[in-house]
Chain A
């Protein structure tokens, strides 16, 4: 392109460079530092949830020494269990699904931020660093009682 102005060319190159640097940083954060997004983690028919492990026994347990699992079932309009206790400083794998409509799962002050879709298992690993009480809320519209769908996590 012979007719590209000098400033224009500089702007185009710097813009492209900026985007490439940003992407590289994000890629490093995800795959170098382990800040993963949820990925494909299994399917489950909504009507089978309550009788299929691990969702037949929701709650928090130590699956192997130092590794914990938090199993939660979402339904309109609450989480089962609605209050969980997790250890500080150990990785906790959240496994959550919905038995009815689309819900969300967001834990305030963390990067635990998941969509819950009936038919799919949502999974994310997180390590709580600070002890305390964390608010967990449904952040996707799920019907008339959506704004009452919340619970808490006690990290200790």
Chain B
């Protein structure tokens, strides 16, 4: 190892104020998840024709609950947790604190965003789902609140880049430590990716909801939304990947194989996450088929770094399992430290993600998508990706992160293990229901308990959805119980250091690899790809067709 490569800066401590801010990001994320899954439970039962929504005080409709479920899980949990977690991994990777003021500004912006969007949703003024396709129109507070959630990630991102720049000044000529590199790369991707949704919300929907703009353009809005909307999937997923690459090998007693390949993977995500949005619009009118096919090709491209990840992470786990005495082709798998809830939850999340990835590739498969688009198959798919690969990984991370942040030992390790397995079984049953229902034409985002149509083949699918969803709900309640017990009554301890993985093949101090660290090159390349993917559509479509007035028929 070359002397100029900083691997594991020692003596790491984080100022108490910064640790507290990161802790609150994590609490807010899981708090939002706690509220969201109550509605998720009701929605799962709905697929079996059981309507418990009438017992929910102040709830006007199924779709109001579905909006809360989507926003609090997909936007608040993910943004809050990621702000906290990747803020910490950047600080740990670089061995220096973040910018304190920016950290708190990000936190308070998030809180304000949650308060505004939450008020609009809970008061029934924004039952437009988390995709908010116009011309269904929400209260301006909803759009403003969502915009603030995104701004909070931007402030965090400025913070990370500021911290990296400071580190570079202090360590001129050195390679960026891998943990910090992959954390910052995630935010670099999201900064570019979030521009679509920012332009849509701030430039079009917010002024339209305030009456300053005469109409909305549904196609342009959907296009801007999905410009961000597929890349956001990777903003959800990459923090879990950061954990799988940099922490899970350590939990398993193994090592990550390759430093350069890991950097390449994250740069591929940076470059390919965004120019893929049309694969969510295969069924849309107004977009030429050839442009859809171009995005199909790029979508298959962004699948590639996930395939590499499957190899690298499994190799790291295998090293761990073999070091612990595992023999044979698969013996190492059973020798993993399954008694560690942080590892158990995340390895189970990875297993589910195999199915999530396969179903995702099917969604991306151009005309095959016509069989499944907007059916229950889709939520079946994404509860195995964001709903498990991400959510269950976040819970697994929390099993070491919250004790570290709070300075208390984890309480209820067996409950935590039971929770992980329950979620694993629950989501497989749930997804089996949703996916089979979808293949039989059961629609997504629909109040099935009150639908005027039905098919006999949906009954088993709906029942499995309800059973699996119930198990997932119970599992999350157990998780929150373990967290609460840890926070309130865990045995006090010194936080200590955060151990992360070593690599077998480390970073090179010279040669082509050093160019991987120059984000500027990769950002320019990404922008070029985005232009190739989106300029033909925009040039042939603009100006906006602001023909649609708003509807609040919810």
- A-side residues, CB < 8 A to B, are 1, 3-5, 8, 11-12, 15-16, 19, 22-23, 26-27, 29-30, 35-41, 43, 45-47, 76, 97, 100-102, 104, 106, 108-109, 111-123, 135, 137-148, 150
CA distance in complex: A114, B284 (Å): 6
Q: Could you tell me the distance in whole angstroms from the C-beta of B110 to the nearest C-beta in chain A?
A: 26
CA distance in complex: A130, B547 (Å): 40
A76 touches B283 (CB 8 A): no
CA distance in complex: A89, B289 (Å): 25
B129 at the interface (CB under 8 A from A): yes
A144 touches B63 (CB 8 A): yes
Residues of A within 8 A of B134 (CB): 102
Most buried by B among A119, A123, A141: A141
Known: A11-B311, A39-B289. A139 touches B443 (CB 8 A): yes
B285 touches A37 (CB 8 A): no
Range of interface residues on B (Cβ < 8 Å): 35 or more
B375 touches A106 (CB 8 A): yes
Q: Please give me the residue from chain A that is nearest to B278 by CB atom.
A: A37
Known: A36-B289, A106-B375. A29 touches B553 (CB 8 A): no
B300 touches A115 (CB 8 A): no
Most buried by B among A23, A100, A135, A150: A23
Q: Please give me the residue from chain B that is nearest to A15 by CB atom.
A: B307
Residues of B within 8 A of A26 (CB): 296, 365-368
Residues of A within 8 A of B283 (CB): 37-38, 104, 113-115
Residues of A within 8 A of B129 (CB): 141
Q: Please give me the residue from chain A that is nearest to B457 by CB atom.
A: A108
B300 touches A23 (CB 8 A): yes
Q: Please give me the residue from chain B that is nearest to A12 by CB atom.
A: B308
Q: Please give me the residue from chain A that is nearest to B361 by CB atom.
A: A22
Q: Could you tell me the distance in whole angstroms from the C-beta of A81 to the nearest C-beta in chain B?
A: 16
B450 at the interface (CB under 8 A from A): yes
A148 touches B451 (CB 8 A): yes
CA distance in complex: A64, B217 (Å): 35
B321 at the interface (CB under 8 A from A): no
Q: Could you tell me the distance in whole angstroms from the C-beta of B377 to the nearest C-beta in chain A?
A: 11
B218 touches A30 (CB 8 A): no
A147 touches B446 (CB 8 A): yes
Known: A8-B311, A114-B283, A119-B218. A143 touches B136 (CB 8 A): yes
Q: Could you tell me the distance in whole angstroms from the C-beta of A134 to the nearest C-beta in chain B?
A: 10
Hey, what's the 0/1 contact readout for B124-143 against A, CB within 8 Å counting as 1?
00000100011110000000
A108 touches B441 (CB 8 A): yes
Given contacts A111-B371, A120-B219, A137-B441, 4 further A-B contacts (CB under 8 A): A29-B366, A113-B369, A118-B548, A119-B219
CA distance in complex: A94, B38 (Å): 40
CA distance in complex: A1, B259 (Å): 12
- A-B CB contact pairs (8 Å), 5 listed: A26-B296, A40-B286, A46-B547, A117-B222, A148-B451
CA distance in complex: A26, B364 (Å): 10
CA distance in complex: A38, B311 (Å): 37
A15 touches B136 (CB 8 A): no
